[in-house]
Structures are given as structure tokens and as C-alpha cells.
Structure 1
Amino acid sequence: MSTRTGKFWHRLVRRGVIRFWAQAAREAADTDVRVLRRRRNVARKLRSHLDTLISIADGRLALPIIGSNTFPKPHGTDWAWRPTVWRDSLPSKGRVAVQTKEGLGEEVTLFHDCSISELTLRQLRNTRAKDLAPFGLRMDVFRFDGSFLSLVIDFPKEALQGLDRKFLIRMDTIVEMEKPLEIFARFNIKHGPNTEQIVRELPLHEEDIMVEFDLAYSKLNEKRIERAWVDLIFEGPEMNQVILRDVTFSRRPRAEM
């Protein structure tokens, strides 16, 4: 039987089932009680399966759509981006005993100076109703004998097109932690032999965790921009679990002074 023929018969049977139960419901008040009892028993079994299907479908269809780049953007935004780890399903979901310069995907890399790594990274599916990002990134830190730990997010080339000192770079994130710690975001932009750096502390006590990097205060050579990235620097990360539910970036021209 061809696929097209199979689909035709499937639709025909489905329509027949729906018509049967619709008619049975209309006739229930006058149906013979013996027939009604049998139909009730079958309907109860059918309802159990339908309730399960509806519950699972509602849960799955309520999740953020994989590949989504949707998130609130400030007025005037001309470029916006959610990195792949938070947007698409990765072939490799996680790493254990993560060594320095290892990471997930093509854009996210972990840097540290631990002699023995007790660090893990894992992509997880976001399931909360308020999540816009399809995925989150979980980092578990056990014993930590290093002096620094940072997560580097490399910007795509599109972010650098037309970039100059008139722009603001904005970062929004959603962070969950087992216990309090400090997180700093350092925006780096390489131009020629030099690298400009702008550091902001994430306001983890606020509901909306957002920082902006104003390039007007940099010494950026706009004609020699080569690459840009953000370091998320974790202070005192030992024996902690940090989940970055979402990380997004956008840029817009700053208001004229």
C-alpha cells in the first residue's frame, strides 16, 4: 500500500470514529441501557488515552520552539542574537571534567586554571512557562583549586558589520544558582594589535538581569575590528550549580548627546 493510500484510509477511519461517537453522544438519552453501558465502558477507556495524549501534547507544544531567536529587544535594535547553545539542540549535550578551552557548540568555551577539573557543562531543555529560550546551559562546579573561571561567548561576524563607537551592546540573561556568587561580564573587541575591554557586574539581585557596554567610552579603532567576545567571569564558584536559562545580545545606536 502506498503512503498516499495509507494516509487516505487513516483519515477515513478517523472521520468514521469521530462521527460514531458524535452520534452516540446525541442518542445517549434514548439508547437502550445495555448498549449504553457498553458504550460507556469503551468511552471511559478511550477518554483515559485521550486525556494522556492531550496532557503530553499540551506540555510539549508549550515549550519554546527549538531554533527560536525570539526575545524582547530595545527600540532601535539593528542586530540581535541568541547563541546556539540556548537556541538549538547540540549533538553533544554535555561534558564532564571539562578542560580549559573546551566547551559546547562552536561559540561557547570554558576557561580555567584548575590542576584537576571537577567541572561539568550540560545543555538542558527549558520547560518553564516563562522561558523564551528553548535550551539552558548548566554548569556544575565541585572542588575548585583554580584562580579563575570564565565562560567565553564568541560573537558572529554579523555583529561586527558597521560597528562603531556610536553603538551600545546589550546583554540579557536569566541565571539560577544554588548559592550566591558574583558574575562579571567583560566585553572584548579586538582591533588590530589591541583589545578593548569593558567590564560590568551582572545585577543578580534584580528581576531583569541586563548589562550594556557603551562603545563611546572605548578607544576602538573602527576600521580594524577583527572579532568580539564576552567573558562571563564567575567569582567563588566552588560547590555550586549555575544554570544560564537564556543569554541574548543586541546592539543599537546610542542616543546623541
Structure 2
Amino acid sequence: MTIERQGWLDRTVDLAALRRWRRRARLAWKADPMALRDQRNRARLLRAQLDQVIHVSDARLALPMIGTQAFPRPRGSDWAWRPELWCGPLAVPGLASVPSKSKLGAEVALFHDCPRAEIALRQLRNTAERDLAAYGMRLEVFRFDGSYLSLAVDMPEAAADGLGREHLVRVDTIVELEKKIEIFARLNIRHGPNTEQIVREVPVQDAEVFVEFDLAYTKLNEKRVERMWLDLIFESPQMNQIILRDLTFSRRKRAAF
């Protein structure tokens, strides 16, 4: 993609044109009718292009910025992250008739045991004023004969670096449902040959929700933490559209008493 940057010469030409049209506007009442007709035609052509630039610029600049990692973080957070699917455009933005273990981007994968996968997964551009994430994800499920459907999100190495039982891990999301279903969040932490799992129900009665995982109640071997990932588990997902407008992660140490 070519990025056009205005240099000194371009700015000088634009300023000269602005001064010229400002003078014409000031003298329009005294101008010869033939000259005035010619100026009006050129002004209309110029206005059409200016209106187009203003219209497109207003629309694009009103959208959340692509690549942004900006979002509210709990005080004391020592790590925070938004996955790439919610940050910028993917090379493959959508999948249809999605088989199990299919990936959308490098970090998100869909798992299910449905023999006939009438499932569609797609990245979409966020446009609402409240949206902080540039993109969202839409999961459409039609007929579903399986026993489970889950979305797995792999976290980067930084999420597990220095992780200990004094940490709280928080997941924030914005959920839109065509019809209400139960959604569960399961945090998985691989340490050595073992995997700790903590499950929390996502309170879908609110649009903007969060869940927290307290690692104090785990048997985490802090010296052997390897990786961490999240599963979002959807109960009875058939004939439903699920949109995750945003998904962010953070962690902080529990306050000392």
C-alpha cells in the first residue's frame, strides 16, 4: 500500500491555490460574467473532489485505529494484550463450513465434534462509537449435532513469563448474541507435564463483561510455566449468531494483606 505524504512543494502549491480561490471569492461580485461562469464550473469540479476527500476521511478517522492495543487495564497490571484478530485485518478474513481445529489468524482456532459443520467464522470491522478494537469476530452456527463448540485463543510467551500464584488473570470482552446462551471461559496453564484449568461462567446478561481467574487456588508449579491459552465454550450454540466485538487479557498481582 502506497502512503502519500505531503512534502514542502505540495504544501506550497496547496497554499497558493487556497490564496487564489480566496481572492476569487472576494472579487466574485465584481468579476466579468463570462469569467465568473468559468470560475463557477471549475469550483464545482474542485468541490466534488474536496467533498469526497472529506467524506472518506471522516468515515475512516471515526473508526477504531487499526493495530491499537489501547484499552482500560486494571491498576497494577504487569501484562496486557489484545489478540491480532481484534487488532488488524487478517489475510484470510473468514471461513465457512468450518472443520474442527481450523484457525482464523495465528492465535484463534475453533474446535468442535459436529460431523456436519454448518458453522461460519468471520472477522468484521467495528464501526460503533463505543468500540475500542478495530475488528471483531462473528461466529454463526446453524444446525449443530455435536456435543461441544469452543474457541481457543493462544496467548504469547509474555503472558506466562514470570506468572505465579499471586497473579489474577482477567479477560474482558464485548459480546453480542442473537439469542442468549451460556458461555464459559476456561483458562489453561501448561506447567511441565501438567495443565491447570480454571473455569468461569461469562455473565452474558451484560454486553461488556469480564471474568477473573485467581491463581492462588491452583497447584501451579511457578518454575515450570510454559504457556497459557483460553477456551471460550459455547453451550447449545445452534441457530445463533455470536459476535465478540473485543477480547482483551491482562494480569496483575493480588494486593498484599
Aligned equivalent of 2:107 = 107
Q: What SS does the corresponding residue of 1:95 show, helix, strand or coil?
A: strand
Kindly tell me the number of residue pairs found equivalent between the two proteins.
Answer: 252
Note the aligned Cα RMSD (angstroms): 1.9
Structure-to-structure mapping, 1:69-88, within 5 angstroms: 69-88=69-88
Q: What whole-Å deviation, never above 9, does each CA across 1:184-229 have from its counterpart, x for those lacking one? A: 1111112222221111111111243111111111121111212211
Identity %: 57
Structure 1 counterpart of 2:155, one-letter code:
F
Q: Distance in 2 between matches of 1:25 and 1:99?
A: 64
- Please give the TM-score of this superposition, normalised by the length of structure 1: 0.91
Q: What whole-Å deviation, never above 9, does each CA across 1:130-163 have from its counterpart, x for those lacking one? A: 2111111111111101000000011111011111
Q: Following TM superposition, by how much is the alpha carbon of 1:16 offset from its aligned partner in structure 2, in angstroms?
A: 3.3
Q: Distance in 2 between matches of 1:48 and 1:66?
A: 28
Q: What whole-Å deviation, never above 9, does each CA across 1:214-254 have from its counterpart, x for those lacking one? A: 11111211112122111000111101111111100000011
Q: Following TM superposition, by how much is the alpha carbon of 1:13 offset from its aligned partner in structure 2, in angstroms?
A: 4.2
Structure 2 counterpart of 1:84, one-letter code:
E
Q: Distance in 2 between matches of 1:84 and 1:127?
A: 17
Q: Following TM superposition, by how much is the alpha carbon of 1:8 offset from its aligned partner in structure 2, in angstroms?
A: 7.1
Matched, 1:240 2:240: yes
Structure 2 counterpart of 1:133, one-letter code:
A
Aligned equivalent of 1:3 = none
Q: Which of 190-199 and 64-73 deviates more?
A: 190-199
Aligned equivalent of 1:15 = 15
Q: Following TM superposition, by how much is the alpha carbon of 1:86 offset from its aligned partner in structure 2, in angstroms?
A: 0.8
Q: What SS does the corresponding residue of 1:19 show, helix, strand or coil?
A: helix
Structure 2 counterpart of 1:209, one-letter code:
V
Q: Distance in 2 between matches of 1:172 and 1:31?
A: 63
Q: What SS does the corresponding residue of 1:18 show, helix, strand or coil?
A: helix
8 A Cα contact 2:80 2:250, kept in partner: yes
Structure-to-structure mapping, 1:165-244, within 5 angstroms: 165-244=165-244
Q: What SS does the corresponding residue of 1:78 show, helix, strand or coil?
A: strand
Q: What SS does the corresponding residue of 2:50 show, helix, strand or coil?
A: helix
Aligned equivalent of 1:152 = 152
Q: What whole-Å deviation, never above 9, does each CA across 1:65-120 have from its counterpart, x for those lacking one? A: 22111111111011000011111221111111111111111211111000111111
Q: Distance in 1 between matches of 2:190 and 2:218?
A: 12
Question: For the structure 1 residues 92 and 207, does the alpha-carbon distance in structure 2 shift closer, same or farther, using more than 3 Å as the test?
Answer: closer
Aligned equivalent of 1:162 = 162
Structure-to-structure mapping, 1:120-135, within 5 angstroms: 120-135=120-135
Q: Distance in 2 between matches of 1:179 and 1:73?
A: 29
Q: What SS does the corresponding residue of 1:28 show, helix, strand or coil?
A: helix
Q: Following TM superposition, by how much is the alpha carbon of 1:14 offset from its aligned partner in structure 2, in angstroms?
A: 3.1
Unaligned runs of 5+ in 1: 1-6
Aligned equivalent of 2:3 = none
